[in-house]
Chain A
């Protein structure tokens, strides 16, 4: 059973640019959630996808968007990057919606300059 993987590991972008982060869920998992973890903070929920549909969103602006594909892999897109978007972005998958155990990937460290 493979774990959750994320790419890239690190990324440096300039303010105003756009970025796409990728996540491959654990095998058989149909639910994926994205979190933003700023330095020294706990992870903050961005949104969740279940069977390719967004199913819950945190307090993030619309420039944060996502996709889930038929193979349950997922993307997080951020437009018009701001300095405060610098953070570790974590993807978590679970077997089913409402499953209590989520499996986290190693994260993508995004730096916006």
Chain B
């Protein structure tokens, strides 16, 4: 079964410093990986995805993620954190259909709360 794990409940970083939010995955077949961000009382906003191709994926708001097949990781990164980046971040993997067919079902991790201090 497909799954993702986010080992850190919370990440604290000072504004201007680089940030990393960790995610590891377990899939059968090729992974389709995603990062979403959730602000308080809001739905999820898409940040970026990895389907195939370059291991470094660039997304919205200056975020990027590095796909590492040997370590089964997909860590979210940003070179310089902003206070406004403080939010809940979710890593997700697309599930396969019953017979390997197309599905939009996402399996989410438990989330990592990013706190950026001014």
Chain A residues with a Cβ under 8 A of chain B: 4, 6, 31, 33, 35, 40-45, 48, 55-56, 58, 90, 92, 94, 97-107
Contact = CB atoms under 8 A, between A and B. Distances in A.
Contact of A100 (B36, B49, B108, B109): B49
Contacts of B44: 43, 90, 92, 104
Interface residues of B, number: 27
A104 B103 contact: no
Contacts of B45: 104
Contact of B43 (A44, A90, A98, A100): A90
Interface of B: 32, 34, 36, 41-46, 49, 51, 90, 92, 94-95, 97-98, 102-111
Nearest to A41: B110
Contacts of A44: 108
A37 B32 CA distance: 21
Contacts, number: 70
B49 A42 contact: no
A55 to B, nearest CB: 7
8 contacts: A33-B104, A45-B95, A99-B104, A100-B51, A101-B49, A102-B46, A103-B46, A104-B36
A101 B106 contact: no
A31 B104 contact: yes
Given A42-B111, A90-B44, A102 B106 contact: yes
Given A90-B44, A100-B49, A107-B43, A42 B103 contact: no
A101 B2 CA distance: 18
A101 B46 contact: yes
